[in-house]
Homo-oligomer: A and B are copies of this chain.
Amino acid sequence: MTATAAVEPLAAAKPATMAQALTRALRDAMAADPAVHVLGEDVGTLGGVFRVTDGLAAEFGPDRCTDTPLAEAGILGTAVGMAMYGLRPVVEMQFDAFAYPAFEQLVSHVSRMRNRTRGALPLPITVRIPYGGGIGGVEHHSDSSEAYYMATPGLHVLTPATVADAYGLLRAAIASDDPVVFLEPKRLYWAKDSWNPEDPPAVEPVGRAVVRRAGTSATLLTYGPSLPVCLEAAEAAREEGWDLEVVDLRSLVPFDDDTVCASVRRTGRAVVVHESSGYGGPGGEIAARVTERCFHHLEAPVLRVAGFDIPYPPPMLERHHLPGVDRVLDAVARLQWEADN
């Protein structure tokens, strides 16, 4: 499978938004491999409610980019059958909470088919799910559901936080022979970055975290929608005399213990930051495994800054729920700096 098939450049593509990079990734993947099929609600004529599949039906025809009936279990279930016949379906779930009807298919089949058949039936399915809040969405349009997918062995779980990663990780997800839950941070869809679609970076290897900002005082461990918050917090922290390192996890499954632990061993302190509710959320796993591996390097317990343990709030109240710069800095302040004096 080559990524070099001739495709037209995106119009006005630099600076590009994350949504544009995702579109480009789908298009390049479809051009490179006729087995790649896109399906979901409104992905065809409309180009998806976030326009991520814009133009694909026109370019590749309705059999390659298909408007399905309105039934998420049916979408993922038929994708399983398509993958059994050798296709590489890319499924769009319209919003995070609307992926729940497909939960049984995901947990009981997608995650287990390869294992069930001793490798005879791998399912190279990518499930794209726009997730998270901060866009003023009404109820059921802002869930952070990554904890459910992390707790399901057999799935990979990826989430980009930059325009370049949106392209690279989505190409990697589609190229993977394993099923991937690909979580797209809704509030970063329109975030721009200068990015050259003519020369997209190589497909990223799945499973690698990356240090987005080097620092020495403490490590912020984060991903997806919370990366910009952490980078902003790191800037603000300089005033307080803290030089924070920021690690973008990118891959929640598999987890990059090496990169994460190298950072925390260096800094001796860490805060996990995410939008998802704290209790039973990703931060518990991350804090626990970092502590298991770096206990004697830690000056303070690994702290967590997360959404509250409540149903996602209505738009007018969501800012109180979402971890912001101040909440991150408050947590950093609680990292027992006294011990240093």
Which one of B100, B115, B151, B285 contacts A108 once the chains associate, using CB atoms below 8 Å? B100
List B contacts of A316 (CB < 8 A): none
List B contacts of A97 (CB < 8 A): 104, 107-108
List B contacts of A309 (CB < 8 A): 153
Interface pair A151/B148, CB less than 8 Å apart:
yes
Interface pair A288/B304, CB less than 8 Å apart:
yes
List B contacts of A108 (CB < 8 A): 97, 100, 140
Q: How far is the CB of A70 from chain B (nearest CB, A)?
A: 14
| Residues 108-128 of A contacting B (Cβ, < 8 Å) | 108, 111-112, 115-116
Give A291's nearest chain B residue, CB to CB. Answer: B301
A216 to B33, CA, bound (A): 62
Interface pair A153/B292, CB less than 8 Å apart:
no
| Residues 291-325 of A contacting B (Cβ, < 8 Å) | 291-292, 295, 298, 300-304, 308-311
- Asked, given contacts A108-B140, A115-B310, whether A302 binds B280 with beta carbons under 8 Å apart, the answer is no
Interface pair B283/A282, CB less than 8 Å apart:
no
List B contacts of A255 (CB < 8 A): 279
A303 to B73, CA, bound (A): 37
| A101 on interface, CB distance cutoff 8 Å | yes
Interface pair A311/B153, CB less than 8 Å apart:
yes
List B contacts of A140 (CB < 8 A): 108
Give A100's nearest chain B residue, CB to CB. Answer: B104
Q: Residues 221-256 of chain A: 1 if any B CB is under 8 Å from the residue's CB, otherwise 0? A: 000000000000000000000000000000001010
A87 to B159, CA, bound (A): 42
Give A157's nearest chain B residue, CB to CB. Answer: B280
List B contacts of A308 (CB < 8 A): 153
Q: How far is the CB of A181 from chain B (nearest CB, A)?
A: 12
A291 to B287, CA, bound (A): 9
Interface pair A147/B151, CB less than 8 Å apart:
yes
A97 to B107, CA, bound (A): 9
A253 to B284, CA, bound (A): 15
Give A107's nearest chain B residue, CB to CB. Answer: B100
List B contacts of A80 (CB < 8 A): none
List B contacts of A150 (CB < 8 A): 279-280
- Asked, given contacts A151-B277, A284-B284, whether A291 binds B289 with beta carbons under 8 Å apart, the answer is no
Interface pair A284/B277, CB less than 8 Å apart:
no
- Asked, given contacts A100-B104, A104-B103, A107-B100, whether A304 binds B292 with beta carbons under 8 Å apart, the answer is yes
Cross-chain pairs A/B with CB under 8 angstroms, 14 sampled: A100-B104, A100-B107, A101-B103, A116-B139, A150-B280, A151-B276, A153-B311, A253-B280, A280-B282, A283-B288, A285-B285, A287-B287, A288-B304, A291-B301
Give residues in A with beta carbon < 8 Å to B.
73, 97, 100-101, 103-104, 107-108, 111-112, 115-116, 139-140, 147-148, 150-154, 253, 255, 276-277, 279-289, 291-292, 295, 298, 300-304, 308-311
